[in-house]
Structure 1
Amino acid sequence: MEGCIYKDQNAPIEDRLKDLLSRMTLEEKLGQITQIERSVAPPSVVKNLSIGSLLSVGGSGPFENATSADWAEMVDTYQKAALESRLGIPLLYGTDAVHGNNNVYGATIFPHNVGLGATRDEDLVRRIGEATAIEVRASGMNYTFAPCVAVCRDPRWGRCYESFGEDTVLVRKMASIISGLQGQPPPGHTKGYPFLDRRNNVVACAKHFVGDGGTEAGLNEGNALLSYEELERTHMAPYIDCLSQGVCTIMASYSSWNDVPLHASQFLLTQVLKEKLGFKGFIISDSEGLDRLSKPHGSNYRQSVLTAINAGIDMVMVPFRYQLFLEDLSYLVESGQIAMSRIDDAVERILRVKFVAGLFEYPLADKSLIHTVGCKLHRDLAREAVRKSLVLLKNGKAPNKSLLPLNKNAKRILVAGTHADDLGYQCGGWTSTWEGKSGRITVGKTILDAVKETVGDETEVIFDQNPSSHFLSTQDFSFAIVAIGEPPYVESGGDNPVLDIPLNGAEIVKSIAEKVPTLVVLLSGRPLVLEPWLLEKADAFIAAWLPGSEGGGIADMIFGDYEFQGRLSMTWFKKVEQLPMAAGNDLYDPLFPIGFGLTLKGLMVLD
């Protein structure tokens, strides 16, 4: 097609967009709105239906333990098919790179957001965004469903660890990760217009719009019963910061606001986000978000498509039943139930992001980036993030009797607990697979690895996950490092009304602490119930969150190479009956308030 303005990279984006849209058939437009899971989309489907986007759900890669090079080869196969379509519109290829490029074996895995919130370091978070973007691009993908900018008001929520914290101001500060993922927008950038630097950057996605962290009882996909003023003040405010940084896409929430599902809220998606806030990128559904809407309508999927598209959803993460979706969408447009203007608006927004991202000029993987995946620079950054995220809650059973820092040259050290030598537990959900799993799931260092690497040559390190009373009575340990916590979980599978320490963690601590001076390292996606006797028996206690692949950051801190500076990003409650509880509540009576953290010198740090 000679003379195509849309192929001229020097032409203004809006001119290119208008030209391309004018050339598209209805079928091509509907294809652009559709996002499919790659396992059900052979390259021929991408080409023939002009599919706009593919994704890999958690664990959906070329094969188990596939490297970035393997991923790049796979993604390029699909991208080349898209380029062979009539108009040659490139694909957006999405992935849940929510704490590093966590689906890819060997990638750097950073702490989950609840830990990053504890750092209070917006520049660190921006640099993590940069590193993640490079590792995503090295795998051929160009779109991440991150960051989550939910304000979590209840730790019973199964996605609590995806939130930077309970405080709106803190979450707004941590939205700096978008400038890392997409690049720093230039002075004069128009708020709400998408921006991407193109150099080693990826399209970001602020999620989940809006109020997902404020549902009743912390239920995932639940209902936020809030006034509009409270929704705007507490939960919508971080999106203002995302828009100012040019975030390209925003994902609608599975949850509801005052009984109206967000995927069906024309008021919030169109009137507020697009019109009032001026968002010019595109709104994407969550995975099978339209299927969720089908529940009130029985099996009427077509009604769900009608409701969601007319509400303002621009791209639909189908991700499996794409034939049915396209059939129903086509019928609704041809019957006039969805206006052509609504379709054109959605496609304009999708194409705008693709032009801004430079996909027409640079659609294929940049394989020169593969050497950056899991490189020392990125792992050092992750280790720094671990150090800054750890929160010291206790150090010593009496004044001037601190356990930390530990002695690197102690004679014999016991390392114990379910989480001491389990990289999968250390990383949490959204790692290797959707739910995460136990074991050596990727490249990294466990706490045990890090301790062994740190101590002196003459120090003996003994590992026993759950040592017997007899064993403890017959051994002479200088101290014990006991790592306990939660196994991996995601979304509704993580909803927890009791929030106790699972896997017999508290009992393991009790049996050891009665005989050996004990440091407890709690790995969790949220505050958990800490019984008074547990804190009393522990000589020192650290909240380590879900630190990711670099356990060396924990060793750096417990042996005194760095001073503690992490502060709680969420209130640590006393009993679940107090929940929801956040700073500013009338009955605020926490075990540890938000912002709490000790230093090795015993100083208390508070916001």
Structure 2
Amino acid sequence: MSRALVHLLGVLWLCCWLASTGESQIEYLRYKDPKQPVPTRVRDLMSRMTLEEKIGQMVQIDRSVANANVMKTSFIGSVLSGGGSEPLPRATAEDWVNMINDFQKGALESRLGIPMIYGIDAVHGHNNVYNATIFPHNVGLGCTRQGFVISDWQGIDRLTSPPSSNYTYSVQASIEAGVDMVMVPFEYGKFIQDLTLLVKSNIIPMERIDDAVERILLVKFTMGLFENPLADTSLVNELGSQEHRDLAREAVRKSLVLLKNGKNESASLLPLPKKVPKILVAGSHADNLGYQCGGWTIKWQGFSGNSDTRGTTILNAIKSAVDTSTEVVFRDNPDNEFVKSNNFEYAIVVVGEPPYAETAGDSTTLTMMESGPNVINNVCGTVKCVVVIISGRPIVIEPYISSIDALVAAWLPGTEGQGMTDVLFGDYGFTGKLARTWFKSVDQLPMNVGDPHYDPLFPFGFGLTTESVKDLVARSTSAAVGARACIFTIIVTLIISLYLPG
């Protein structure tokens, strides 16, 4: 056999060996093959994972303690931004994408390259992100897909009193109870250490760990994270887009509930006329975007003022809605003499609660901010007024109801104040209904439909409706045409009767 032929056979054998090795390698990494069924991919990946890698998947940490190396070496399954946890002040969408991709690249460099899930408290829009459109708090966005169970922020720490006094017990109790992923969010090393010890000591069975990790991986495969783990910047300009804001504006006007319209049935105040000489806008919440959005906006507890994100306050929405000839006067807390001396056509008073989230909002009195009652008394006792309540729940309003001409429950409408003026000025009609009973006094609480003592100020499902100005005009025009036709018929009938014999 010639040397050339031997060389050729050797090359052919090497090619065949490389090809067979490549095929086996593809089969070996079956979990990375998108053509395989998801359950197959999950089982394949699970079979390759060590205990350390599995426990890492059960950990969620805050972005403030995450970096590419931590993701790689601790096999972290998820990172989150808690309320107000942002890459930098007023971070752009691109800043967020870059930060998250850096974490993801670290996760992908781990032995098995398992991507992480990024979590964020998007309660009413992407509310941690500057310039994001903030929707009304009471508009719910539902999800029905299968998933996994995750604890709340430092939730397992609070299984003991005082919190964290027996962390090993907290880890054991939560995992045995069915928690799949733990929002640690900071001391992840201690959680990993304790859970590892509990498994190696046969206190928590390996089957429970596999059960949790299987559900986590099922979600990641179903989401397509293994094929598309990185975020891109192609949609960053959509943040705060007009399309988003128009949708939120629609949600605002549909969520508003009209509780009173006129001091008697024949004297409705709404819709308000846009063209009048002068109007008053008053109250702590009229020109405060933070109050308008409520908690879980930019920061955990929300913010006060107009500088932390972008949007339209109710005051600015009013100025845009009225006729250019209408003078709009704003006073946060006007006194009675000021109101009397200015000859206002009507007033719009916007008052309510400060922003809050979770236990910081607990209240036994459920009253509005201190200046609110004073503004209502000074303004509504002097001029026709509509009072708009900005709150995350029913609050005490019964003592002031008799002096108010029109009353609107606006809840926490978000960034799009024009949704409020859409209905106040009659571009659209009010359609909202109460999703909660509105009490007369806190002494009645708890109070639910069907209770023997059910005697609310406004019952569950209550809400007055109004027609848009356009519909009112159309109906009036139709009625006028009908009346003219009727008059014409009567006249013709009379004429005929006069000239016909008999």
- 1:13 equivalenced with 2:38 (yes/no): yes
Shift of residue 470, structure 1, vs aligned partner: 2.7
Shift of residue 398, structure 1, vs aligned partner: 2.1
Contact 1:486–1:503 at 8 Å: present in 2 too?
no
Contact 2:67–2:102 at 8 Å: present in 1 too?
no
* Corresponding residue of 2:380: 513
* Corresponding residue of 2:62: 37
* Corresponding residue of 1:80: 105
Range 418-427 or range 506-515, more displaced? 506-515
- 1:535 equivalenced with 2:393 (yes/no): no
SS at 1:291 equivalent: helix
* Corresponding residue of 1:483: 350
Residue 119 (structure 2) aligned to one of 94, 102, 119: 94
SS at 2:96 equivalent: helix
The aligned amino acid for 1:8 is D
* Corresponding residue of 1:344: 210
Contact 2:158–2:164 at 8 Å: present in 1 too?
no
Q: Determine which structure has more spread, i.e. the larger CA radius of gyration.
A: 2
Which runs of 5 or more residues in structure 2 are unaligned? 1-24, 469-502
Q: How does 1:140-289 map to 2 (within 5 A)?
A: 177-178=142-143, 245-246=144-145, 248=146, 281-289=147-155
Q: Distance in 2 between matches of 1:303 and 1:330?
A: 13
Q: Distance in 1 between matches of 2:77 and 2:407?
A: 49
Q: Distance in 2 between matches of 1:282 and 1:324?
A: 22
Shift of residue 601, structure 1, vs aligned partner: 6.2
Contact 1:485–1:503 at 8 Å: present in 2 too?
no
Moved runs in structure 1, 4+ residues, more than 4 A?
Answer: none
Q: Distance in 1 between matches of 2:426 and 2:56?
A: 56
Contact 1:33–1:316 at 8 Å: present in 2 too?
yes
* Corresponding residue of 2:177: 311
Shift of residue 298, structure 1, vs aligned partner: 6.8
Residues 161-196 of structure 1 show CA distances to partners (whole Å, capped at 9, x for unaligned) of xxxxxxxxxxxxxxxx32xxxxxxxxxxxxxxxxxx
SS at 2:348 equivalent: strand
Residue 68 (structure 1) aligned to one of 88, 93, 97: 93
Alpha-carbon spacing, 1:550–1:341, altered in 2? closer, same or farther (3 Å): same
Q: Distance in 2 between matches of 1:10 and 1:506?
A: 65
Contact 1:414–1:480 at 8 Å: present in 2 too?
yes
* Corresponding residue of 2:367: 500
The aligned amino acid for 1:17 is V
Range 503-512 or range 543-552, more displaced? 503-512
Q: Distance in 1 between matches of 2:164 and 2:321?
A: 59
Which runs of 5 or more residues in structure 1 are unaligned? 117-124, 130-176, 179-244, 249-280, 603-607
Q: So what's the TM-score if we normalise by structure 2?
A: 0.86
* Corresponding residue of 1:450: 317
The aligned amino acid for 2:156 is L
Identity of aligned residues (%): 57
Contact 2:333–2:371 at 8 Å: present in 1 too?
no
Contact 1:297–1:303 at 8 Å: present in 2 too?
no
Contact 2:136–2:414 at 8 Å: present in 1 too?
yes
Contact 1:446–1:551 at 8 Å: present in 2 too?
yes
Residue 356 (structure 1) aligned to one of 206, 222, 230: 222
Residues 431-451 of structure 1 show CA distances to partners (whole Å, capped at 9, x for unaligned) of 000010101221100000100
Q: Distance in 2 between matches of 1:91 and 1:382?
A: 31
Residue 289 (structure 2) aligned to one of 419, 423, 427: 423
SS at 1:282 equivalent: coil
Q: Distance in 2 between matches of 1:357 and 1:370?
A: 20
SS at 2:160 equivalent: helix
SS at 2:437 equivalent: coil
Q: Distance in 2 between matches of 1:578 and 1:458?
A: 47
Q: Distance in 2 between matches of 1:578 and 1:515?
A: 31
Contact 1:35–1:54 at 8 Å: present in 2 too?
yes
Q: Distance in 1 between matches of 2:467 and 2:320?
A: 25
The aligned amino acid for 2:276 is A
Shift of residue 98, structure 1, vs aligned partner: 0.7
Contact 2:260–2:407 at 8 Å: present in 1 too?
yes
Shift of residue 468, structure 1, vs aligned partner: 2.2
Query: Alignment length, in residue pairs?
Result: 442
Contact 2:429–2:466 at 8 Å: present in 1 too?
yes
Query: Cα RMSD (Å) of the superposition?
Result: 1.4
